[in-house]
């Protein structure tokens, strides 16, 4: 048996390894559902991907020239170069990107996946044109052309939409929703144009259809921009999970383009899990996905809803210590401000001191706290907060009236009582953590600014609320020092 026959006979073993890789993906995803097994699940999924990548390098379509039947190795230098460059970028990002920038990084990851799928589909179309013209091969079939168009459309929307999401999350552009009259109609027209163009391309995917193909690329990029600029900062966790789903669907379509089983399976898993997560996020906000995508939430000004009047009651770290020292139960409610201040480690230290003082300690987590799904869980896990102390919103609210002190650290919109009390508020109907019902609520903030959604918070004026102004890390460090003294 010569080397060419050996490579051709590897197709069955490669597909068997693909099945093993797919099973590792499934088990890894399952383990990600628990904080105690998430790290191991991530490693198992990474192992599955490593297996898939390695065995793909032995695929006959890479090693054997389809027209001459000879072995070729020239493509490996470009694969190696891409792996080195990508690995270096990933290593640098992992070492340098701060936890506060993690949502932006996830957004860029989603966009990178969408762009990769778009470029793969484009390369496959270009290859088919070359084979048709040079080797007189048959042009693309209708199915292949259809999945190329789908991969380009979803990939383009994911890429440009993720770039806009990154801009909003990093605040390099306004976080509010940017809307204009007839925006939804324009989006609908663009989507219809892309679908019609895809049908026309699939019917005749030859050199003359290149203009249609480029038009689909351009429309998809514009559609991604217009779809995300109309979504405000308060909905960013939903946008991140939805774009994650889009990137998976684009990868799945790309798998059909090149007939790669493991890419189809991995893309389908990411797409499905992203849609499930998006649905969870929408339920947590008591809103439909259509409402998130088309309502322009966040386009309102900071004065949206009823104007709040009352007296703000500041408190000092020394007086806060006296309240905590006498408390038998304390609940920490983290938000994006916790990430900004990098206060998760001192929060855990304070929690440990409160426990030694005889208090029962909780960490109440709202599903959309922060700027991406699971943002607060990741921060607290980094600080080794015991997983059993993390309490979901539905579990903490029934007992919150009996909690002596609620400490709100950087959270704003997810504890805003306007969601219950003000029907004119954009947050109306959104489930929140009812911190205003605790015996005493202490809000740690730098100033009286509104949250990411730009909505005023009447919590700050409640009779049982005290405002501890300043950097959250410094304020909590002062409390830790009081306990130690």
The residues annotated with a catalytic role in the active site are: 413
Measured in residues, the chain has a length of: 485
Half-sphere exposure of residue 221, counting CA atoms within 13 Å on the CB side?
9
- Nearest alpha carbon to residue 83 among 57, 61, 47, 117: 57
- Nearest alpha carbon to residue 136 among 82, 200, 79, 206: 206
């Amino acid at each position: 048996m010569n080397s060419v026959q050996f490579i051709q006979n590897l197709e069955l073993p490669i597909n068997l390894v693909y099945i093993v890789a797919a099973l590792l993906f499934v088990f890894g995803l399952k383990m990600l559902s628990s904080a105690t097994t998430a790290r191991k699940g991530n490693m198992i999924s990474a192992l599955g991907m490593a297996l898939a990548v390695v065995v793909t390098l032995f695929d006959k379509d890479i090693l054997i020239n389809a027209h001459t039947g000879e072995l070729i190795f020239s493509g490996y230098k470009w694969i190696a170069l891409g792996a080195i460059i990508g690995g270096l970028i990933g290593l640098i990002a992992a070492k340098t990107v701060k936890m506060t920038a993690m949502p932006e990084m996830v957004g860029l990851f989603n966009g990178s996946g969408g762009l990769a799928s778009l470029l793969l589909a484009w390369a496959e179309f270009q290859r088919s044109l070359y084979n048709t013209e040079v080797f007189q091969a048959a042009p693309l079939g209708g199915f292949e052309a259809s999945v190329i168009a789908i991969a380009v459309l979803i990939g383009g929307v994911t890429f440009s939409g993720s770039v806009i999401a990154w801009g909003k999350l990093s605040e390099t552009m306004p976080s509010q929703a940017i809307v204009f009259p007839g925006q939804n109609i324009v989006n609908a027209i663009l989507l219809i144009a892309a679908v019609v163009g895809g049908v026309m391309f699939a019917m005749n995917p030859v050199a003359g259809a290149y203009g249609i193909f480029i038009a689909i690329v351009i429309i998809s990029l514009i559609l991604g921009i217009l779809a995300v600029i109309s979504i405000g900062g308060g909905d960013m966790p939903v946008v991140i999970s939805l774009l994650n789903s889009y990137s998976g669907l684009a990868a799945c379509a790309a798998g059909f383009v090149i007939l790669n089983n493991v890419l189809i399976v991995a893309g389908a898993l990411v797409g499905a899990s992203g849609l499930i997560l998006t649905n969870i996020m929408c339920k947590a906000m008591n809103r439909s996905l259509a409402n998130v995508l088309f309502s322009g939430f966040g386009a309102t000004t900071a004065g949206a809803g009823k104007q709040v009047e009352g007296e703000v009651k500041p408190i000092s770290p020394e007086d806060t210590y006296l309240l905590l020292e006498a408390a038998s139960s304390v609940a920490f409610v983290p938000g994006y401000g916790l990430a900004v201040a990098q206060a998760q480690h001192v929060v855990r230290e304070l929690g440990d001191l409160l426990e030694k003082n005889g208090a029962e300690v909780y960490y109440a987590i709202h599903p959309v706290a922060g700027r991406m799904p699971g943002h607060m869980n990741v921060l607290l896990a980094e600080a080794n907060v015991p997983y059993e102390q993390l309490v979901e919103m539905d579990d903490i609210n029934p007992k919150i009236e009996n909690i002596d002190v609620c400490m709100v650290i950087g959270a704003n919109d997810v504890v805003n009582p306007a969601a219950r009390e003000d029907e004119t508020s954009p947050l109306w109907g959104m489930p929140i953590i009812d911190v205003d019902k605790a015996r005493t609520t202490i809000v740690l903030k730098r100033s009286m600014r509104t949250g990411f959604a730009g909505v005023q918070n009447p919590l700050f004026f409640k009779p049982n609320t005290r405002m501890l102004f300043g950097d959250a890390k410094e304020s909590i460090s002062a409390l830790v020092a009081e306990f130690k003294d």
